[in-house]
């Protein structure tokens, strides 16, 4: 009985781990040409869902992401290059639609904000640790030394 349960748990674990990430692309969105579909998948993995913001449109279930996937595939079917499709979407939605926006003067804020937040957190942590270590290193007062000696003497007397 126990062995069967362990096997069942093992099979379930393997299935969960082997599943990989679920893609939101529906069969009715897919292109019949495998090469165009592969290009669409690569491009949609590089584009941000404007609703979810931290997912690609390939992974997002949001209706806007679906619309963007369909638009991207229409542009590819029309003969646009990958760069032309990206340029079209950037012109329409801005650099924010790219999961990795280009490093330019107008996107500097997008790139440097996380670094600035990380540095501010490190400075705050360093100050807190320094303050804590200074508090811990303070010597005992004469009254505290006397109280400690009395406690130690009482413990030895037991």
What's the pLDDT tens digit per position in 50-107?
A: 888 788 988 888 899 899 999 999 999 999 999 999 999 999 988 889 988 888 888 7
d(CA 58, CA 42): 9
Q: Are residues 88 and 124 in the same domain?
A: no
State how many domains the chain has: 2
23 confidence band (pLDDT: 50, 70, 90): low
Q: Are residues 95 and 146 in the same domain?
A: no
User: 30 exposed, middle or buried (CB, 10 Å; 0-12, 13-18, 19+)?
Assistant: middle
Q: Are residues 43 and 71 in the same domain?
A: yes
Q: Are residues 120 and 92 in the same domain?
A: no
Of all residues in the chain, the percent with pLDDT exceeding 70 is: 83
Mean per-residue pLDDT of the chain? 82
pTM: 0.56
Q: Are residues 18 and 71 in the same domain?
A: yes
151 confidence band (pLDDT: 50, 70, 90): very high
d(CA 121, CA 126): 9
20 confidence band (pLDDT: 50, 70, 90): very low
Of all residues in the chain, the percent with pLDDT exceeding 90 is: 36
pLDDT of residue 58: 87
Are the beta carbons of 82 and 43 closer than 8 angstroms? Answer: yes
Range of the domain at 46: 2-101
């Amino acid at each position: 009985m126990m062995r069967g349960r362990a096997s069942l748990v093992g099979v379930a674990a393997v299935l969960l781990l082997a599943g990989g990430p679920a893609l939101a692309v529906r069969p009715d969105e897919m292109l019949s040409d495998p090469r165009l579909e592969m290009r669409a998948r690569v491009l949609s993995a590089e584009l941000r869902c404007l609703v979810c913001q931290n997912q690609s449109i390939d992974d997002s279930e949001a209706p806007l992401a679906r619309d963007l996937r369909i638009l991207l595939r229409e542009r590819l079917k029309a003969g646009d290059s990958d760069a032309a499709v990206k340029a079209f979407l950037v012109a329409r939605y801005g650099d924010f639609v790219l999961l990795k926006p280009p490093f330019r003067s107008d996107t500097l804020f997008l790139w440097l904000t996380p670094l600035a937040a990380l540095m501010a957190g490190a400075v705050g942590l360093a100050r807190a640790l320094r303050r804590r270590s200074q508090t811990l290193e303070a010597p005992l007062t004469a009254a505290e030394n006397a109280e400690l000696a009395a406690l130690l003497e009482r413990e030895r007397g037991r």
